[in-house]
Amino acid sequence: EVQLVESGGGLVQPGGSLRLSCAASGFTSSSYWMSWVRQAPGKGLEWVANIKQDGSEEYYVDSVKGRFTISRDNAKNSLYLQMNSLRADDTAVYYCARQRGSGSLDYWGQGTLVTVSS
Amino acid sequence: EIVLTQSPGTLSLSPGERATLSCRASQSVSSSYLAWYQQKPGQAPRLLIYAASTRATGIPDRFSGSGSGTDFTLTISRLEPEDFAVYYCQQYGSSLTFGGGTKVEIK
């Protein structure tokens, strides 16, 4: 059974940092692109970043470029999102998701809440 | 960046009725890279349709997708009580973007 489990969310002050993790099981994570998607309270879905199978390519939504870094450790079947210089508008539930070749996201974690507030 | 516009914002229907949801792209999207998701309150999104018209594993056949170019449609042939939720379209051509969502609510 494919499972994705996020962790690392919490309350952080504006300008602070947080590192999210996503533990994958039930499939060979090194065979898939992986994505992070976020959802602000009461709002829609926003793709944040994705990373190629071997970590050689990574892409970001403009609003997080230069502040967030996506990475992966295939030996540990884990995906990460390092978030720096956090702002109030980064407050959201962050989901990790497995990305198919078509770009669709076929498995999602349960999400981890990040709250940026003083 | 390709912008996806979903309409209507809210659809009020009764169980058993047909639901037709629209997703319009600001520029042409390859049909191979258009997907639809369902999200219920407090849950992660669930993939319904990928490649514009292919149902994901375990998705009932009352859900169907169609369209090409800039206009795509998700149809639910007969609404079941569990289908009342928010639906999002998503493209993966130029980057990856989601539409704003359509809420299907009980009338």
Q: What is the pLDDT of residues B43-78, one digit of tens each?
A: 999 999 999 999 999 999 999 999 999 999 999 999
> Contact A95/B33, CB-based, under 8 Å?
no
Tokens 């967030």, residue located = A68
User: Per-residue pLDDT averaged across A12-34, rounded?
Assistant: 96
Report pLDDT for A115.
98
Rounded-to-integer distance, Cα B37 and Cα B47, Å: 5
DSSP string, B57-69: TT--TTEEEEEEE
pLDDT band at A76 (very low <50, low <70, confident <90, very high): very high
Minimal Cα–Cα distance from B95 to chain A, Å?
Answer: 8
Interface contacts (A, B; CB < 8 Å):
64
Residue B37: strand pairing partners: B47, B88
Residue at B95: amino acid letter: S
Report pLDDT for B22.
98
pLDDT band at A8 (very low <50, low <70, confident <90, very high): very high
The set of residues, in sequence order, having a beta carbon less than 8 Å from that of A112 and lying 6+ positions away, is: A6, A7, A8, A9, A20, A93, A94
pLDDT in tens, B4-29: 999 999 999 999 999 999 999 999 99
What ranges in B2-100 are assigned the alpha helix state H? none
Residue A40 tokens, joined: 């602000």
pLDDT band at A43 (very low <50, low <70, confident <90, very high): very high
Tokens 């996503």, residue located = A22
pLDDT in tens, B84-107: 999 999 999 868 999 999 999 999
> Contact A44/B101, CB-based, under 8 Å?
yes
> Contact B96/A102, CB-based, under 8 Å?
no
Chain A residue with CA closest to B87: the answer is A44
Residue B95 tokens, joined: 């980057």
User: Per-residue pLDDT averaged across A49-54, rounded?
Assistant: 96
